[in-house]
Amino acid sequence: MEDLTPLVNYVKKYIPLTEGEESFFISLLQVTKVKKRQYIHQPGYICQYRNYVLKGALRAFISDNNGQEHTISLAIEDWWIADPASFILREPGTFFVEAVEDSTIVQISYEAEQQLMQQYPKFERFYRVTSQLTAIHAQKRLLSNISQTAEERYETFAGRYSQLLQRFPLYIIASYLGMTREFLSKIRNRNLPPAQQTTDSSNNVN
Amino acid sequence: MEDLTPLVNYVKKYIPLTEGEESFFISLLQVTKVKKRQYIHQPGYICQYRNYVLKGALRAFISDNNGQEHTISLAIEDWWIADPASFILREPGTFFVEAVEDSTIVQISYEAEQQLMQQYPKFERFYRVTSQLTAIHAQKRLLSNISQTAEERYETFAGRYSQLLQRFPLYIIASYLGMTREFLSKIRNRNLPPAQQTTDSSNNVN
Q: Does A15 touch chain B (CB under 8 A)?
A: no
Q: In what order do the strands lie in the sheet with B39-41?
A: B39-41, B96-99, B58-63, B69-75
Tell me if residue A43 falls in helix, strand or coil.
Answer: coil
Is the confidence at residue B115, as pLDDT, over 60?
Answer: yes
Q: What is the pLDDT of residues B51-74, one digit of tens each?
A: 999 999 999 999 988 888 999 999
Q: Does B136 touch chain A (CB under 8 A)?
A: yes
Nearest chain A residue (CA) to B135 = A135
User: Yes or no: is domain A5-146 CATH 2.60.120.10?
Assistant: yes
Rounded distance between C-alpha atoms, residue B35 and residue B51, angstroms? 15
Q: Does B142 touch chain A (CB under 8 A)?
A: yes
Query: Which residues of A fall within a CB distance of 8 Å from B148?
Result: 64
Is the confidence at residue A173, as pLDDT, over 80?
Answer: yes
Number of H helices, E strands in chain B: 10, 8
- List, as one string, the DSSP characters of A44-78: TSB--EEEEEEES-EEEEEE-TTS-EEEEEEE-TT
Nearest chain B residue (CA) to A146 = B178
Read off the pLDDT band of B205 (50, 70, 90). very low
Mean pLDDT lowest for which of A29-33, A40-44, B139-143, B162-166? B139-143
Q: Does A115 touch chain B (CB under 8 A)?
A: no
Specify the pLDDT at position B194: 53
Do A100 and A168 touch, CB atoms closer than 8 A?
Answer: yes
Closest chain A C-alpha to B73 CA, distance in angstroms: 10
Specify the pLDDT at position B147: 83
Is the confidence at residue B88, as pLDDT, over 70?
Answer: yes
Nearest to A138 among B68, B125, B138 (CB): B138
Q: What is the pLDDT of residues B76-87, one digit of tens each?
A: 999 999 999 999
Read off the pLDDT band of A200 (50, 70, 90). very low
Q: Does A63 touch chain B (CB under 8 A)?
A: no
- Summary mean pLDDT of chain A: 91
Is the confidence at residue A20, as pLDDT, over 90?
Answer: yes
Tell me the percentage of chain B whose pLDDT exceeds 70: 92
- List, as one string, the DSSP characters of B125-156: HHHHHHHHHHHHHHHHHHHHHHHS-HHHHHHH
Do B37 and B98 touch, CB atoms closer than 8 A?
Answer: yes
Q: Does A128 touch chain B (CB under 8 A)?
A: yes
Query: Which residues of B fall within a CB distance of 8 Å from A132?
Result: 84, 88, 127, 131
Closest chain B C-alpha to A117 CA, distance in angstroms: 9
Q: What is the pLDDT of residues A79-133, one digit of tens each?
A: 999 999 999 999 999 999 999 999 999 999 999 999 999 999 999 999 999 999 9
Q: Does B26 touch chain A (CB under 8 A)?
A: no
C-alpha distances out from residue A96 to A38, A72, A175, Å = 10, 10, 14
C-alpha distances out from residue B56 to A55, B46, B70, B159, B167, Å = 49, 24, 20, 22, 9
Query: Which residues of A fall within a CB distance of 8 Å from B145?
Result: 142, 145-146, 178
* Distance between start and end Cα atoms, chain B: 34
Give domain limits for chain B.
5-147, 149-206
Mean pLDDT lowest for which of A175-179, B4-8, B191-195? B191-195
Stretch (H or E) spanning B167: helix B162-167
Specify the pLDDT at position A192: 64
Specify the pLDDT at position B78: 97
Task: Please report the sign of the dihedral spanned by the C-alpha atoms of residue A76, residue A79, residue A81, residue A85.
Answer: negative
Q: What is the pLDDT of residues A37-94, one digit of tens each?
A: 999 999 999 999 999 999 999 999 999 888 889 999 999 999 999 999 999 999 999 9
Specify the pLDDT at position B136: 93
Rounded distance between C-alpha atoms, residue A189 and residue A182, angstroms? 11
The residues pairing with A62 across neighbouring beta strands, listed in sequence order, are A70
Specify the pLDDT at position B204: 32
- The class of domain B5-147 in CATH terms is mainly beta
Specify the pLDDT at position A193: 58
Read off the pLDDT band of B144 (50, 70, 90). confident
Query: Which residues of B fall within a CB distance of 8 Å from A117?
Result: 125
Query: Which residues of B fall within a CB distance of 8 Å from A148?
Result: 64
Is the confidence at residue B113, as pLDDT, over 90?
Answer: yes
Q: Does B65 touch chain A (CB under 8 A)?
A: no
C-alpha distances out from residue B170 to A146, B103, B184, B206, Å = 17, 19, 8, 6
- Which of A:42-61 have CB within 8 Å of B? none
- Summary mean pLDDT of chain B: 91
Helix axes A150-160, A122-147, angle to 10 degrees: 140
